[in-house]
Chains A and B, each alone.
Chain A
Amino acid sequence: MNVPMAPALFIDNVSLFYGEKLALDKVSFTVSRGECVILLGPNGAGKSSLFSLITRLYDTREGAIEIAGFNLKRHSTKALGRLGVVFQQSTLDMDLSVERNLLYHADLHGLGRKLANTRICEELERQAMFERRHETVRQLNGGHRRRVEIARALLHKPDVLLLDEPTVGLDMPSRKAIVDYVHQLSTTQNIAVLWATHLVDEIFATDQLIILHKGIIRYQGSVQQLLETTAMPSVASAFQHLTKGEK
């Protein structure tokens, strides 16, 4: 049961230090259901650090994070149960089959075997991976592994889907397929999507945008507003302008 009217993801004044080094400085934003928010930032901007906080790999010491209305610190299990994650680095077990990887995830989320099997069929069919469910992950190429990871992240029907640079290392057709699919997801399944990337060509005109640089949010708003505010002809040049030439 979700907390009524709460945003799917609420980040409030979150800061993170690695020793003396400031990685995130008072970061605040929300992501609503049905919305696709692109977290754009050059390498080292703090995107992965923010994801580590949202997934509670690190504890939030300053600020607060709520997922579907549940405070991540106080109600971590409820909050994490509403989160689907695709990490930058593959987290699939290479020696297990696609199906076995998904069953493992279903077990960790407490899904019964019957429901899990139904959802696995649904998600793999959507990703055109059903026929390959018995193959080990090692046998799949990078694009197909990513599809399996997205299917896995959606298995428990999360409110929020986090994707941390999911297209890194993929060829153009695979990248396009994933970008299109995830953008569709936010509207067709009413999921809040937070997509971290440093590639401006993954942004749709309808997306909300957060530009993060050196742990500070430099811009928040729509693509259109960004172009108007910065008076730049493209997102790429606006991004370059805001991050002072650093890509």
Chain B
Amino acid sequence: MNPLHALRALRGVVTRELLRFVHQRERFVSALVRPLVWLFIFAAGFRSTLGLSPTPPYETYILYEDYITPGLVGMIQLFNGMQSSLSMVYDREMGNMRTLLVSPLPRWFLLVAKLLAGTLVSVLQAYAFLLVAWFYDVRAPIEGYLTLLPALVLAGLMLGALGLLLSSFIEQLENFAGVMNFVIFPMFFLSTALYPLWKLQESSQLLPVLAQYNPFSQAVELIRFALYGQFNAYACAYTLASLALFLSAAVIGYNPSKGMMQKKGGKQ
């Protein structure tokens, strides 16, 4: 593969994704409003009922809003990953996907380009949310906003790869509701986004185990530590491994000889 060709193709895919994002203002607004509702209403309501003892990376008692913010950043990326998946299925139904798939580049590269473009959008959304949270007095150390960037990129890539993988299985747009019920909600609620693991341990033996193995939990922890200028090596390794797994499976899913499309004789 010619590197210059690859760079130009990447530019094309990223530009298209950004233009679509700019044109779909309601997508940006809803991506921002969703976590803000959780922050302004849900977190405010639960502030007094959920007592949080200091656990790393927090060195002292914190407000529930501070705890939930990294989880909501993860939520933005989770929803963005699924939104990318939805747009892949939509593109496939509308036929736009063919433009991408018949271009003279390896499938894996095209998927990675899509993934990078989607991640860029999710990082922009996450920072927009953190800016609003800042004015709401939910603030992390200044340097945390910088150390957060690589964590957001990695988490965004992992959740985007999961979205890509799901899109290779979903034949029709109508089936996407199942993704909400069986992927997004369980991943979100069965994670450390809203409550720490030890809180879950108080009420169940199974749930904390599931939450610990949930890749979304590890992505949230990676974000949480990074926002406070710290590095969580385990969360990073787990997120990286999940990314490798999801992306490999997505590449196989979109491979014309091995993927789901060939098996289904479906349209691409």
Contacts and interface: CB of A to CB of B under 8 A. Distances in A.
A47 B248 CA distance: 32
Contact of A108 (B100, B255, B261, B268): B100
Interface stretch (B3-11, B153-161, B226-234): B3-11
A59 interface: yes
Contacts of A109: 5, 103-104
Contacts of B2: 110
* Dominant SS among interface residues on chain A: loop
B1 A57 contact: no
Given A57-B268, A78-B104, A91 B16 contact: no
B101 A57 contact: yes
Contacts of A36: none
B256 A91 contact: no
Contacts of B99: 91, 104-105, 108
B262 A58 contact: yes
Interface in A113-169: none
A81 interface: yes
A180 interface: no
B12 A59 contact: no
A48 to B, nearest CB: 9
B106 A77 contact: yes
B105 interface: yes
A12 B13 CA distance: 34
A89 B261 contact: no
A187 B268 CA distance: 32
B101 A59 contact: no
Contacts of B102: 55-57, 80, 83, 85
A172 B9 CA distance: 37
Interface stretch (A95-103, A200-208, A212-220, A233-241): A95-103
Nearest to A152: B99
A93 B11 contact: no
Interface in A34-79: 52, 55-59, 61, 76-79
Contacts of A56: 101-102, 256
Interface in B1-43: 1-2, 4-6, 8-9, 11-13, 15-16, 19-20, 23
B19 A108 contact: no
A4 interface: no
B186 interface: no
Nearest to A89: B95
A92 B98 CA distance: 10
Nearest to A85: B102
Nearest to B256: A59
Contacts of B106: 76-77
B4 A110 contact: yes
Given A95-B23, A104-B12, A108-B12, A57 B105 contact: no
A110 B8 contact: yes
A245 interface: no
B53 interface: no
Among B13, B256, B261, find the residue whose CB has the most chain A CB atoms closer than 10 A. B256
B5 A58 contact: no
Among B2, B13, B96, B267, max chain A CB count under 10 A is at: B96
Given A55-B101, A58-B262, 16 more contacts: A23-B265, A55-B98, A57-B267, A58-B265, A59-B256, A77-B106, A81-B104, A91-B98, A91-B99, A92-B96, A95-B20, A95-B23, A107-B15, A108-B9, A108-B103, A110-B2
30 contacts: A23-B265, A57-B261, A57-B267, A58-B265, A59-B256, A59-B257, A61-B257, A79-B104, A80-B102, A80-B103, A81-B104, A85-B98, A85-B102, A87-B98, A91-B95, A93-B16, A93-B96, A95-B20, A96-B16, A96-B20, A100-B19, A105-B12, A105-B103, A107-B11, A107-B13, A108-B12, A109-B104, A110-B2, A110-B9, A111-B8
Interface of A: 18-19, 23, 52, 55-59, 61, 76-81, 83, 85, 87, 89-93, 95-96, 100, 103-112
**What 6 A-B pairs have minimum CB-CB distances, sorted nearest first?**
A107-B12, A110-B5, A81-B104, A59-B257, A108-B103, A18-B265
